[in-house]
Amino acid sequence: MLDLRLIRENPTSIEENLSLRGKVYKISHIHELTVKKKEIDIEISSLQSESKKLSKLIGQEISKFQNNDSPELNNLKKKGNDYRTRISEFEEKKRILDKQIHNEISNLPNLPSKDAPIGKDESNNIQVKSWGDPLMKDNLKSHWEIGESLNLFDSIKSTKISKSRFITLIGNGAKLERALINFMLDMHTKNGYLELMPPALINSESLQGSGQLPKFSNESFKCSNDDLWLSPTAEVPLTAFHKNEIIDPNLLPLKYVAYSPCFRREAGSYGRDTKGLIRLHQFNKVELYWFCDPSKSLKAHNNITADAESILKKLNLPYRLIDICTGDLGFSSSRTFDLEVWLPSSKCYREISSCSNCLDFQARRSSIRTKIDKKNTYLHTLNGSGLAIGRTMAAILENGQQPDGSVKIPDALVPYFGSNFLKTT
């Protein structure tokens, strides 16, 4: 959520910065509401000050006279009642106005970082670096062809259980998924992250706090009889874990890692990636999340990205790092680095992690603060996949495929999987 004071004092600057996202934002109506709110705040403060003075005067009059029913005292009491009535009326106006402002501002995305590349869409994203040697051969199999030949997963039978875009992992496929989860969790906990396993069902307030609601309600699955949704990413419950708290600055940064199932409707993506593990309604992911001092979030952004990169390096999977332009940034992000893994069958890189610095955007929506110079201050939050499990499995299958149809398991994963190769059984 954006700062009300900034909107009230610099509406033109806010509009210009938001428009870098490739869309025109007009916030004059929100600006007017924030000005009215400020005027009401001043009026309430003035009335409360006058009421306090009057209360002291009434107290003095009562101590002077034994008769508490004098015309002078009754007149003062009447004025006191009038003040309380007016204060109550203004407070009700403020409650209504606060709700209006909150609803309006909740639909505004985060301000892009001044360091993010300026551009309209993904074509303006910038490659920062690449790592590894991409496998470049003809007639390579796709990961779903490999999965079918090795009997690792089944999407056809899954439609009997659920619907399309769900998958059932089988035998070594399920074992490889579990190995990847444990490998990633162990890697990150050794690197100073505290492991959490949050609920998969989350309330609306949690989704609002991280920025998924109200804008992305059509992307999530909601339980019809409860105010609960299936979590689209562990970023949501991890943000809410410290909702309405003031965190001791001596504890910062707080670094969490969480494995969770994720559920997304993938609205508008029909016809794309309908086969395999790339775009499913349900998938597993290991998420990294930081709460940090605002003055240190730029460095933290590089650190959380490096932690996600370390998994790809350990698995010897070629990837590249992309600096996302302003027009392609996620709703809550101020700056994002995408990690894209190489998929040989399609001869292209595919996103496997987005590492974002949200600054105080989510902390403001979720009321998460810390103490800086004895003053309550919104801290900064950062998140990144460390990594998406299904896409990592797809990359391992394609990059590790052998001429005999088997798949070479990355050395770092062998202790978790228990074998050097995936073979037909």
Confidence grade of residue 68 (pLDDT, cut at 50, 70, 90): low
- Report DSSP letters for 286-346, one per residue: EEEEEEE-GGGHHHHHHHHHHHHHHHHHHTT--EEEEE--GGG--TT-SEEEEEEEEEGGG
Amino acid at 261: P
CATH code 3.90.930 for 4-105 = no
- Cβ burial 168-187 (10 Å sphere, 16+ → b, else e): bbeebbebbbebbbbbbbeb
pLDDT exceeds 60 at position 270: no
Please enumerate in sequence order all residues whose Cβ is within 8 A of that of 88, keeping only pairs 6 or more positions apart, or say none: none
Grade residue 65 by pLDDT with cuts at 50, 70 and 90: low
- Do 301 and 335 touch, CB atoms closer than 8 A? yes
Hey, where are the domains in the chain? 4-105, 122-422
Give the pLDDT mean for 165-171. Answer: 96
Q: What distance in Å separates the CA atoms of residue 322 and residue 295, rounded to the nearest whole number?
A: 24
Q: Which of 154, 187, 161, 133 is nearest to 277 (CA)?
A: 154
pLDDT tens by residue, 122-134: 999 999 999 999 9
The CATH H-level (homologous superfamily) assignment of domain 122-422 is: Bira Bifunctional Protein; Domain 2 (3.30.930.10)
Q: Which residues pair with 229 in a beta bridge?
A: 202, 222
In this structure, are strands 245-247 and 368-372 parallel, antiparallel, or unpaired?
Answer: parallel
pTM: 0.93
